[in-house]
Every structure is written in structure tokens, then in C-alpha cells.
Amino acid sequence: MSVIARQQKTKAEVFIREAEKTLAKRSWFGSKSQQQEDAAELYDKAGNAYKVGGLYHEAGEAYTQAAQVYADKLSNTFEASKMYQNAGQCFHKSSPADAVNAYNQAILLMTDAGRILPAAKLSKTCAELYEKEGIDLEDKSHVVLAIEAYEQAAELFEAENSPAQKSTCIVKIAELCSAELDPPDLLRAAGLYDSLGRSSLDSNMLKFHAKGYFLQTILCHLANGDSIAGRQAVTRYEALDYTFGTSREGKFAAQLLEAVDSFDGESFASACFEYDKIAKLDPWKTAMLVKVKKSIDGDEEGEEEDDVDLT
């Protein structure tokens, strides 16, 4: 342990002892709430000291104690949510699961106080933690937990009339449902991409995203083994956007549908190769196309995805 860490640890431990004594002290003349306020501030100071010393887990625990005093004894939801958020930021460096727990406490207090936008942003942070850190619970995988947290964030962003931030969350839900969930929920993902595409058409700023979302809808249907739904989607999108059929996304979708219906793996691979030269296939599209290619080749349970040649 470094010199500064030892110094800050000693300082923090003094603050903790003072806070505990303050809470335990009987008040004959002074205000009990003032004592509790003093104790919460001492726990906060302890958290700051631990953080300066790089003792992040201890800092998170001290901030949590401050939050509990503010919430349970003083009914100060603003300060309590602030302390839980500080705790989460420290736990993030030492224990992501504890960080999520602290953030969720902050979110509850924020929503109760009508602070919807900060709660939405923190819900999105929780979703990212579940996803990136692989935090599982006994009855739920980290993918399911991430989807639920993104759903909560999307609902809160919608309540605050933040459509762009809501759409970012919906995109993540669709990606997780289609590419990470086991088994994948491709039908739900198709519906989400369809909704994103339609809402994009209604915005002059987002209109250029619509064709990409429509293509993703069609890829979900094809990966789900339903070329009929894919063709129906193409018909709908040509009616919604008269340029879709002649766009690179529309042409690519038509080529894929033709190859799938003909069980023509060579034509399918050729279409992928030509599209990739114009617009580089991202990992999500590649994963969906591999699922489709394997179904054409009649090897859905055989080759690993890395072994499937799209070109």
C-alpha cells in the first residue's frame, strides 16, 4: 500500500468512528436530525478519503453508509441518490455487481423524486455494466438483465421526451435479442428494427437511417428461417419509402431473398461479397448472414460461425 493510501485510510477510519459515535450518541439538548446529518457528512468524508487513497471498494461502502443515513433517517432522497451514485462509481472499479446494486438504489430514489432524466441515464449505465462485465444472477443471465435495464432506460427517456436517447436503447435491445440472447428472439428484434425504421422516416434528421433498419428487419426474418416474412417486409418498405427497392439495401435484400428461396449458397455468398465492397458488413450483419448461409447449406448445427464463408 502506498504512503498516500495509508494516510487516507487512517483519515477515513477516523471519520467512520466519528460517524458511528455520532449516530449512537443520545441527544438531550441538540437536534437528533442534526446528529444524523453530521454522521452522514462524516461517512461522505470517509468515502472521499478512501477514494483519494485509491481504496475504491472501501470508498463505495462508506458512501453507501452515508446514503443509508440520508435515506432512512433523514428522508433526504437527493443526497441519498447522490451518495449511492458515488458508491456505484467507486464499486465500478472494484466490484461491478455492487456498482449495479448501488446504481439501482439511486434510480429508485431518483424516480420517486421525479428526477427522470438522471434515472434514465443511470439505467443505461447499468445496462452497459451488465453487458460488458457479464454480471449474472442466479435466475437471469447478464444478457437478460442488460435487456431489462435498456428497456427501463428507454421508457424513462420516452417519459422525458428524449427520442434519440430512447432509440439508442432500443437499438441495443434489438442487438442483444438477435445476437446475444440464447436462444435468440429474432422475431422481437425484427419488430424493434421495423419500429426504428418507421420512426426514422418521420424525422428529417433520422430519415437516412431508415433503410438500414429495414434491412436489419429483413435479415432477422431470414435468420429466423422465414423468407415469406422477409418478402412481406420488402413490400411494406417499398410502399413506405419508394426509394427502398432501388437502394443498395433494397437490392441486397432482394438478392438474399432470391438466393434463400432457390437454396443457392453461391449466389448468396456473391451478394454478400458485392455488398461488403460497397458498405462493409459489420459484426451484427455478418452474424445474421452466417445464420442464413448455414440454413441454405443445411448445416445449422454443424460448422462454427467463424468457419462459414460468406464470400
Taking the model in full, what pTM does it have?
A: 0.92
What is the C-alpha end-to-end distance of the chain, expressed in Å? 55
Cα dihedral across residues 19, 21, 25, 30: positive or negative: negative
CA distances for 144 relative to 122, 126, 141, 190, angstroms: 17, 12, 5, 18
Give pLDDT tens digits along the chain (311 positions).
888 889 999 999 999 999 999 998 876 655 788 999 999 999 999 999 999 999 999 999 999 999 999 999 999 999 999 999 999 999 999 999 999 999 999 999 999 999 999 999 999 999 999 999 999 998 999 999 999 999 999 999 999 999 999 999 999 999 999 999 999 999 999 999 999 999 999 888 889 999 999 999 999 999 999 999 999 999 999 999 999 999 999 999 999 999 999 999 999 999 999 999 999 999 999 999 999 999 998 875 555 555 566 76
Is the bond preceding 183 in cis, omega lying within 30 degrees of 0?
yes
